[in-house]
Amino acid sequence: MYVVKNLIVGCGLSGIVMANRIANELDQEVLIIDSKDHIGGTCFDYKDVNGITVHKYGPHIFRTNSERIWHLLSKYTDWYPFMHRVLGIIDGIEVPIPFNLNSLYKVFPPQKAKELEIKLIKEFGFNKKIPILELRKTEDRDLNFLAEYIYNKVFLGYTLKQWGFTPEQLDPSVTGSVPVYISKDDRYFQEKYQGIPSEGYTKMFEKMLDHPKIKVLLNTDYSKAKDTINYERLFYTGAIEEFFNYKFGKLPYRSLDLQFRTYDTNRFQNAAVVNYPENYDFTRITEYKYFLNEKSEKTVLSFEYPQDFEEGKNDRIYPILNKENQAIYDRYLEEAKKLPNVYFLGRLGAYRYYDMNRTIAGALELFDSIKK
Ligand code: UDP
């Protein structure tokens, strides 16, 4: 029997942050287990044979407005100051995404773009971000034409491929995270701090876990190991419905089939990420050497084919946010509240479409609440 004060299930971002804080601030022992053979969860990265750092589960670009989060991670890594710019192929043209004033001039003749720009600024104001589902409500005929254009060319095809649903069938926050931006700012994110750990995410995580009070066990499935571990507190970052043996039913997720290809060329595309809302069955191509400005005669790419999550076949990557699924999750959450000293966190524990910043924020909030 393994006896430990804190057991953390899942060695992804939320589990690692929690382990790091418990060991460093509370000076308590932590055992962190993961069924996979690597740490880092879906943020895991590695250097491939050509010396290019590859994100095994697709592109991860860190950004935050939180001083606390930035300074915490910065104890364990330096940053390559990467600012993410995404292009989308619309009618065969490379267009900055999120759709912004520069995009307008890429797809329309200058006169038409100017008219639309003036109307957009008049109706919404400069430097404003408008979710596409909001923009579609506009009554102005020209702006309505623009909204339909962006909806059909940028969002509809991509969202159907990504989620298997239209934007309306999903929680508005899903497409709301990539709003139309009435600005010339081409960046995908506007947060104060943005970057990629200069030696990769995995190296940063190794340092966060490097503490005499933290023990990591990989290839360890909680369902098989739980009877052999005695703990005072459990932090569970896996799927909440699995923890409760699916008693209220399954929670659906989307997963990804990421196909990696190495091409014998220095550069393949004009940005780290290029989205394909209209063409092909994949949603986007990522070219990894951009993230750390790595030099190689070759380049490694991933093509993302979204698919449904199926037990035993692929991983749970994206919770599918809609009212029905939220209602199922809420029932599990009620059940979770009855368990003293068991806490659910992370993308799967919270059934939230968290980015890295929000995942860390969630773990720190929970840590703050238990450390009292
Ligand atoms: N989206 C879209 N077209 C795009 C980019 C994003 O329709 O060109 C929508 C789509 O529904 C996507 C969501 O916005 O799932 C969030 O996009 P993001 O790039 O944040 O996705 P992630 O990197 O989390 O997969």
What are 173-226's pLDDT values in tens digits? Answer: 999 999 999 999 999 999 999 999 999 999 999 999 999 999 999 999 999 999
Find the helix packing angle between 110-124 and 141-150, rounded to 10°: 100
Mean of pLDDT over the chain:
97
240 within a domain of the structure (yes/no): yes
pTM of the model: 0.97
Is the C-alpha dihedral spanning 242, 243, 244, 245 positive or negative? positive
305 within a domain of the structure (yes/no): no
DSSP state of 289: G
Residues 99 and 233 in one domain: no
Question: Ligand 1: which residues within 6 Å by Cβ?
Answer: 88, 97, 154-155, 158-159, 162, 174-175, 177-178, 275, 277
pLDDT for res 358: 98
User: Average pLDDT, stretch 258-262?
Assistant: 98
Q: What are phi and psi of 40, to 5 degrees?
A: 95, -10
The helix (H) or strand (E) run that includes residue 182 is strand 180-182
Check whether the bond before 98 is cis (ω within 30° of 0).
yes
User: Strands, DSSP E only, in 223-321?
Assistant: 229-236, 253-263, 273-275, 284-287, 299-308, 318-319
CA of 174 to the centre of ligand 1 (A): 7
- Number of structural domains (the chain) is 2
266, pLDDT greater than 90? yes
301 within a domain of the structure (yes/no): no
The percent of residues above 90 in pLDDT, for the chain, comes to 98
109 within a domain of the structure (yes/no): yes
pLDDT for res 1: 84
User: Average pLDDT, stretch 324-329?
Assistant: 96
217 within a domain of the structure (yes/no): yes
pLDDT for res 2: 85
Hey, is 34 helix, strand or coil?
coil
Which range of residues forms the domain containing residue 173?
A: 86-182
372, pLDDT greater than 80? no
As a 3-state breakdown, the chain gives helix, strand, coil percent values, each rounded to 5, of 40, 25, 40
Cα separation, 304 vs 273, in Å, equals 11
Ligand 1: nearest atom to the Cα of 188: 19
CA of 56 to the centre of ligand 1 (A): 19
Residues 245 and 367 in one domain: yes
User: Average pLDDT, stretch 94-111?
Assistant: 98
- Are the CB atoms for 208 and 16 separated by under 8 Å? yes
Last residue of a domain, one of 182, 200, 226: 182
Cα separation, 18 vs 32, in Å, equals 10
